[in-house]
Amino acid sequence: MIKEEKIQENKLHILGRLSAGLIHEIRNPLSVINLNLDYIKIYKDELNPEMNECINACLESSERINQLIENFLDFSKKNHSTDEYASINVVTEKAVEIMLATCRKSNIELQTILQEDIPKVKFQTLKMLQVFLNLMTNAVEASLSGGKIILRSYKKEVKNDSFVFWEIVDNGTGIEDDDREKIFTDFYTNKETGIGIGLSVCKMLLDEHNAELEFESEFGKGSRFIIKFNIGG
């Protein structure tokens, strides 16, 4: 093993231990946030719809953090099977609900073009939500004010196999040719506050479910990330 790989392996080991500690400590402040949001909700009839939307998005997100913590704790205990079928459109709508307030604040339009009666795919719902939110967050972060993001789901036959596709298109910054190879690498980021693991996590979760992630991008024009779920012939 070359020296850099050894350093990277050590870093990952330390990171594993740090994240376990972090998860443990996140639970307490999170329950405070939850309690306070629930308290504010008592006054929902006196608040305007936009404020209620913000509160709901916060509650949804804190519930998601809770679920992620549970997942993390489960993961450290045992290996979970993925025999669950998720409705790609329902998960997309949930993701839109969560991201709506953020998009509105950044003046980004969010459009969905979802094919009706699309078959469910073998995927844990929460993990699918995690993948969609990571890709949507990246699209939002790459977009400028006035930008537009389109989420699309559709079924397509390729040769003798059936696939469900989910794609996200943005008209943001795009990706430079030199960076194409790097974006799936752990800790690669071009953002000041980025960690650089969003796409690696997506890839890991999609690999677990035998789904593929591809992208097309033109620097200065925008990007398209495509997920391909094989649903058999």
Closest by CA to 195, choosing from 206, 204, 185, is 185
Q: Does the footprint of ligand ATP cover residue 175 (CB under 6 A)?
A: yes
Of positions 124, 132, 170, 206, contacts ligand ATP by CB under 6 A:
170
Helix (H) or strand (E) holding 202: helix 198-208
Rounded least distance, CB 14 to ligand ATP, Å: 18
Q: CA–CA separation, 68 vs 19, rounded Å?
A: 12
- Residue pair 227/212 in contact (Cβ under 8 Å)? The answer is yes
Q: Cβ 134 to ligand ATP, closest distance in Å?
A: 6
**Contact range with ligand ATP by CB under 6 A, out of 65-73, 99-107, 121-129, 184-192:** 184-192
Segment contacting Mg ion by CB under 5 A, of 61-69, 113-121, 143-151, 195-203: 195-203
Q: Does 151 bind ligand ATP (CB under 6 A)?
A: no
Closest approach, Cβ 139 to ligand ATP, in A, equals 5
DSSP state of 38: H
Show Cβ contacts of residue 206 under 8 Å, excluding neighbours closer than 6 positions: 131, 212, 213, 227
Our finding on whether 60 is near ligand ATP (CB under 6 A) is no
Residue 137's H or E segment, with its range, is helix 125-142
Among positions 138, 167, 171, 211, the unique one binding ligand ATP when judged by CB under 6 A: 138
Burial level of 121, CB count in 10 A (0-12/13-18/19+)? buried
> Does residue 198 bind Mg ion (CB under 5 A)?
yes
Asked whether position 172 contacts Mg ion by CB under 5 A, the answer is no
Contact predicate 132/98, CB 8 Å: no
Name which of 118 and 149 has its Cβ closer to Mg ion. Answer: 149
Pick the closest to residue 85 from 209, 216, 223 (CA basis): 209
Which positions touch ligand ATP (CB under 6 A)? 134, 138-139, 142, 170, 172-175, 183, 188-191, 194-200, 223
Which positions touch Mg ion (CB under 5 A)? 138, 198
